[in-house]
Amino acid sequence: MLKIGVLALQGAVQEHVKSLQAPDVETVVVKRMDQLEALDGLVFPGGESTTMRRLVDKYGFFEPLREFAAAGKPIFGTCAGLILMAEHIVSETEGHLQVMPIEVQRNAFGRQRESFETHLSVKDVGEDIDAVFIRAPLISAVDESVEVLSEFKGEIVAARRDHLLACSFHPELTEDTRFHQYFVQMVRESKETAPSHAAVT
């Protein structure tokens, strides 16, 4: 069985749990850092990034999450989760976990009244992906090692670098589970190719 966690400090956790369902997947709602060790993959959900960061610090998740990423275990961040992963945040002095070499701009599309839903083509995932953008960030710059998976009006809204996957929008708010199942496949492959990666740290 694959064990995939959803970081549950704040935000839309159950929606991810639902979208991750697969016959070989066991999902774990993660509230304490001692739950991380048993996981093969982890999701950073949407929510408020400033709130999540405060709780990450408060409960000692900061280094364990960075180690999780450094160990090569797959991580998928949506919206606020993407912000947590980014190395740089526009107009802020430093990023949060800084595990992915990208720059993000918060609330890039405007306030809630400018929030929207659309359909996107996402490389390797599919066409016509249902995408809900809520006070969404965008990826304003990427390192050359990062693969751009999707753009909306010329702006990057989904990207992957090796075992790290991130998007601006909320696939978890839709019935369309293709993006999550793409991540589940990443976790499967990661576990097959590096069965002992838990020992890396």
Partner 1 sequence: MADRGTDRVKRGMAEMQKGGVIMDVVNAEQAKIAEEAGAVAVMALERVPADIRAAGGVARMADPTIVEEVMNAVSIPVMAKARIGHIVEAKVLESLGVDYIDESEVLTPADEVYHLDKSEYTVPFVCGARDLGEALRRVGEGASMLRTKGEPGTGNIVEAVRHMRLVQAELKKIAGMSKDELMTEAKNLGAPYELLLDIKDTGRLPVVNFAAGGIATPSDAALMMQLGSDGVFVGSGIFKSEHPDKYARAIVEATTHYQDYELIGRLSRGLGTAMQGLEISTLEPSERMQDRGW
User: Which residues here bind partner 1, judged by CB under 8 A?
Assistant: 8-13, 15, 31, 46-48, 50-51, 54-55, 58, 79-80, 106-107, 111-119, 132-135, 170, 173-174
- In whole angstroms, the minimum distance from the beta carbon of 21 to partner 1 comes to 16
Query: Vertex 157, ends 156 and 158: CA angle to 5°?
Result: 105
Can 96 be counted among the known catalytic residues?
A: no
Can 48 be counted among the known catalytic residues?
A: no
Residue with tokens 């496949």: 185
- In whole angstroms, the minimum distance from the beta carbon of 121 to partner 1 comes to 12
The number of beta carbons lying within 10 Å of the beta carbon of residue 164 is: 21
Q: Which lies closer to partner 1 via its Cβ, residue 177 or residue 185? A: 177
Q: Which lies closer to partner 1 via its Cβ, residue 24 or residue 114? A: 114
Sign, CA dihedral 179-157-131-19, equals positive
Q: Which lies closer to partner 1 via its Cβ, residue 11 or residue 41? A: 11
| Measured CA distances, 177 to 26, 142, 158 (Å) | 16, 26, 15
Enzyme catalytic residues: 79, 170, 172
